[in-house]
């Protein structure tokens, strides 16, 4: 395991899976500028490493993340944005590969927005989540106001945003916003199990599928097929695609080369 951002972020490679752990438990893993920069740098390396297929973001200690470091913001006006990746080095541009949030205890304000910037959320039962920014005279500007209405019933998403009240992982799982529920203390193991199922698939196909799912919201119907083909065409022409077909007919596991 390595660390970055003065040990604010722990980076661990587990085969094709990269685990990033927010490591400021004494301040509920609040995001300051050095941590945001460390996350952005880790995602840059993740995207560039052909040996990695899936990423997991977790939090050290009792919870996932409480959002922006309000002490740093109140004292110096520091905003923990990092380049074009935005708040926490992730919410405006995450990664081109699948990301899973492993959430324990709480994910509130910007912490919830980090989880929402991931493709899938695995959370422990009883975990508290929400965007309470309005209670502090702030706005949930890290993507929640865009992403919540896409994954939740409109009335419930609006209520969460306007009241600032928290909800539970159990409720969000019922509504389809959380992929898997675990018992308390089991979110990372659940995320690793899900990551293993994803990482078993073709890496080129995973990246293309992820980017289509992410980018298609800005495409109209006429654009969709052409833009999808831009991503699918190279995959269909790849050695991996032929290997997948051969492995199926030969009834054996595929041996991916990433090309």
For residue 3, pLDDT over 70 is answered with no
What DSSP element (H or E) covers 168?
A: strand 167-168
Q: What pLDDT, on a 0 to 100 scale, did the predictor assign at position 72? A: 73
Q: What pLDDT, on a 0 to 100 scale, did the predictor assign at position 239? A: 84
Q: Of 12, 75, 78, 113, which one is the catalytic site residue?
A: 113
For residue 79, pLDDT over 90 is answered with no
Condensed to tens digits (0 to 9), the pLDDT of residues 152-161 reads 999 999 999 9
Condensed to tens digits (0 to 9), the pLDDT of residues 91-130 reads 999 999 999 999 999 999 999 999 999 999 999 999 999 9
**CA–CA separation, 209 and 191 (whole Å):** 19
Tell me if residue 133 is catalytic: yes
pLDDT (average), residues 73-77: 68
The number of residues making up the chain comes to 259
Tell me if residue 113 is catalytic: yes
Nearest residue to 169 (alpha-carbon basis) of 130, 114, 118: 130
**CA–CA separation, 8 and 30 (whole Å):** 10
Tokens of 128: 């508290």
Q: How confident is the model at residue 1 (pLDDT cuts 50, 70, 90)?
A: low
The top-scoring range by mean pLDDT among 44-58, 74-88, 214-228, 232-246 is 44-58
Pairing outcome for strands 54-59 and 9-14: unpaired
Residue 102 near residue 188, CB atoms below 8 Å: yes
Condensed to tens digits (0 to 9), the pLDDT of residues 160-188 reads 999 999 999 999 999 999 999 999 999 99
Q: What pLDDT, on a 0 to 100 scale, did the predictor assign at position 222? A: 83
Q: Of 6, 45, 75, 133, which one is the catalytic site residue?
A: 133
């Amino acid at each position: 395991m390595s660390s970055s951002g003065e040990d604010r972020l722990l980076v661990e490679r587990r085969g094709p899976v990269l685990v990033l752990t927010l490591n400021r438990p004494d301040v509920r893993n609040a995001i300051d500028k050095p941590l945001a920069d460390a996350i952005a740098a880790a995602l840059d390396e993740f995207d560039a490493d052909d040996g990695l297929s899936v990423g997991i973001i977790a939090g050290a200690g009792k919870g996932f993340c409480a959002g922006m470091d309000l002490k740093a913001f109140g004292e110096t006006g520091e905003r923990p944005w990092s380049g074009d990746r935005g708040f926490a080095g992730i919410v405006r541009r995450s990664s081109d590969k699948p990301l899973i949030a492993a959430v324990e205890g709480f994910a509130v304000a910007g912490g919830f927005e980090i989880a929402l910037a991931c493709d899938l959320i695995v959370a422990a039962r009883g975990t508290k989540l929400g965007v309470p920014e309005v209670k502090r005279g702030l706005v949930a500007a890290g993507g929640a106001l865009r992403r919540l209405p896409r994954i939740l019933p409109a009335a419930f998403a609006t209520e969460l945003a306007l009241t600032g009240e928290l909800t539970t992982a159990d409720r969000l799982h019922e509504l389809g916003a959380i992929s898997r529920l675990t018992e308390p203390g089991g979110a990372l193991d659940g995320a690793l199990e899900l990551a293993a199922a994803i990482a078993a698939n073709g890496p080129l196909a995973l990246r293309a599928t992820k980017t289509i799912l992410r980018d298609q919201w800005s495409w109209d119907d006429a654009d969709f097929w052409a833009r999808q083909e831009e991503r699918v065409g190279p995959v269909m022409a790849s050695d991996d695609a032929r290997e997948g077909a051969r492995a199926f007919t030969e009834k054996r596991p595929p041996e991916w080369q990433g090309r």
